[in-house]
Chain A
Amino acid sequence: MHNQLSGLLVSDFTSDILKAFLTNLKETPSCTITQGPFGNTIPVLKDPAHSLWKNSYDFTVIWTQAHSVIPSFKKALEFQEPSEEEILSECDLFIDAVKDAATRSRFVFVVDWNLPEFFHGYGPIDLHQGGLRYLLLSLNKHLADGLKNIPNVYLLGSEKWLQAAGEKACDPRLWYMSKIPFDPSVFKSAAIDIKAALHCFLGGTKKLIIVDLDNTLWGGIVGDDGWQNLKIGGHDPQGEAFADFQRTLKSFHRRGIILAIVSKNQPEIVWQAFEQHPEMVLKRTDFATWRINWQDKVENIMDLLKELNLTEEAAVFIDDNPAERDRVQKAMPAVLVPAWPLNSLLYTKTLLSLRCFDTASITTDDRKRNEMYTQEKQRTQLRQSMQNAQEWLASLETTVTTAPLTDADLPRAAQLLNKTNQMNLSTRRLSEGDLMNWGKAANHRIWIFRVHDKLGDSGLTGIASFEYSKSSACITDFILSCRVFGRHIENVMIKTMIDECQRLGLQELKAVYLKTDKNQPCLEFFNEASHFAKSEENTFVWKIKDKYPDAWPIIIKNRGTIQ
């Protein structure tokens, strides 16, 4: 789904192994890596004229050792007792250097600092003020605080990589022979995490978990055993594990992952179990949709994705039955079907270990996503009860609020830009900082669109932008969340751009469709519903002198104007 990404490694140790894993691991995206010189981290990061910065990088990994970039911390390791202020002021120099580097790379990953497990410090008082691990905690906290407002910088925690490697995580033999501070397995975990983050930043975040029921969400077969005899909760290892698994799914639901059910069962028996079992954690209302019947699961999943306006790439399918998993994986290779353990006590661990839900930010809209899908279900039901589409649209009483992009909307806008695949004209991917900077150019315009109707708030669901010169503007981004497709929001977005073209005295607005595997809906809109004339293959034009049709029955509100 992505082209090869270019990455720069800046470290104060031999980074060849990290380079090797980033290059050789099969996980997407594939990467080509440039290594900075050994050591001299801060000068390299701060100096824009350094030869390394002649190239541009999609991402930079900055991985240092605290005693190397914070000289006072080295003194602390030698029990020379420097002041905490001294240590933190040196940390500020490092933070400034990272800020400089962040202007030259799309994404910057900074690895936090750690100490080898054999470093005992002051023993039982090492976490007291003045102890080494206390200082390390302060340093990492200071680093996190210092970097938190730089939108394209991500602080990665190394502790879990070291924990996973166990006792061999920091082997002094590797350091003394090759200036490698960690076991290769530590670098492997780091590379997997970095690649997963990049994959997600570039639109690969999974949005939907589809679960089976019997022996997946609970122990037992509800149709055979009865809801009273299902293993869930109670004083039983399996029951506790299934309850925990449901709690974990519920926590994913809270952060905005959509839940759905595909199960071979009788629906009335299933809903009775959900409603009557006293230990059931998940409720019917936690699921955006379901297919509970005896049909093929692949057909059910396809149908369910269509209902949710999602692609196969957005979905994860969890089923205890290996035959069902195999069937889905073979028929729908883009759906993530994790290998699932036989032992139900390992379900929660397996779910939590998935890296496919990584995200660059969590917005209010994310947390409300499930609620929004429930509202969408109500809209569909309303649509089915109406004679025609126009009558349905009028009944929704939709309001679209348009506004120029501001800092407040930046995290959600960047997320939408980087996640949306279907209604996306150019599938441009940018970090928050790059998006904002792009919008600041004198001949660029960028808007966000919020959608609200009588059933609820869909939030920030659209982005439109154009670039103009002389008499013509060309649309750069035309992005709409799949949740609000086909409700004339698209036409409001076009109208907003045309109004600005009029204000600027331009003569035409052009859209050039860049085909991807997934953005066919965008081409269909421009062909069938945009009112634009097709000037050549995949190019569409609107003459500004013509009156663009009203996007009836939508109410448009403008919030703020472009200066």
Chain B
Amino acid sequence: MNDKNAIRDAVTAAIIDINQTLPSDRQISTTPEAALYGPQGMMDSLTLTLLIVAVEQKIEQNFSQSITLLDYSLGLGENHVFSSIDALGEHIYSLLNSNTHA
């Protein structure tokens, strides 16, 4: 069973990395409920791409498991798992545990 806090830490670390590429007025919040991508979010699609890859890398590094965050058939707009850190964390948690149980 993977720890949800450790997953959230990995996502937060990825956001901190991505924030280095963003100007001060476009920084992504690291609070769990803050909106990421979508109508309320601060991210454009390029930033979301960076976040997806950074989070996948952190998960591979910290959990030694490979995950695919994006359902490529849906496109970015339909992937609601990126609405907040919490939602993304939950999604990663289910992916990791489905991997474990498979």
Contacts and interface: CB of A to CB of B under 8 A. Distances in A.
A458 interface: no
A184 B20 contact: yes
A17 B50 contact: yes
B46 A14 contact: yes
Contacts of B21: 17, 20-21, 24, 184, 187-188
Nearest to A171: B53
Contact of B52 (A16, A21, A177): A177
A173 B23 contact: no
A267 B89 CA distance: 63
Interface in B23-79: 23-24, 46, 49-50, 52-54, 56-57, 70
Interface centre among B21, B46, B49 (most CB of A within 10 A): B21
Contact of A174 (B17, B20, B50): B50
Contacts of A24: 20-24
B18 interface: yes
A395 B53 CA distance: 71
Contacts of B70: 177
A24 B70 CA distance: 28
Interface in A252-300: none
Contacts of A168: 57
Interface in A182-200: 184-185, 187-188
Interface residues of B, number: 16
Contacts of B17: 184-185
A173 B20 contact: no
A448 interface: no
A24 B24 CA distance: 8
A178 interface: yes
Nearest to A21: B21
A4 to B, nearest CB: 15
Given A23-B23, A24-B23, A173 B46 contact: no
Given A178-B46, A184-B17, A20 B22 contact: yes
A180 B20 contact: no
Contacts of B18: 184
Nearest to A187: B21
B1 to A, nearest CB: 27
A24 B50 CA distance: 17
A177 B53 contact: yes
Interface of B: 17-18, 20-24, 46, 49-50, 52-54, 56-57, 70
28 contacts: A14-B46, A16-B46, A17-B50, A20-B21, A20-B23, A21-B20, A23-B23, A24-B21, A24-B24, A168-B57, A171-B57, A173-B52, A173-B53, A173-B56, A174-B49, A174-B50, A174-B53, A177-B52, A178-B46, A178-B50, A180-B49, A180-B50, A184-B17, A184-B18, A184-B21, A184-B50, A187-B21, A188-B20
Shortest 9 CB-CB contacts between residues of A and residues of B: A178-B49, A20-B21, A177-B49, A173-B53, A174-B53, A17-B21, A184-B21, A24-B23, A168-B57
Given A14-B46, A178-B49, A188-B21, 5 more contacts: A17-B50, A20-B21, A23-B23, A24-B20, A184-B20
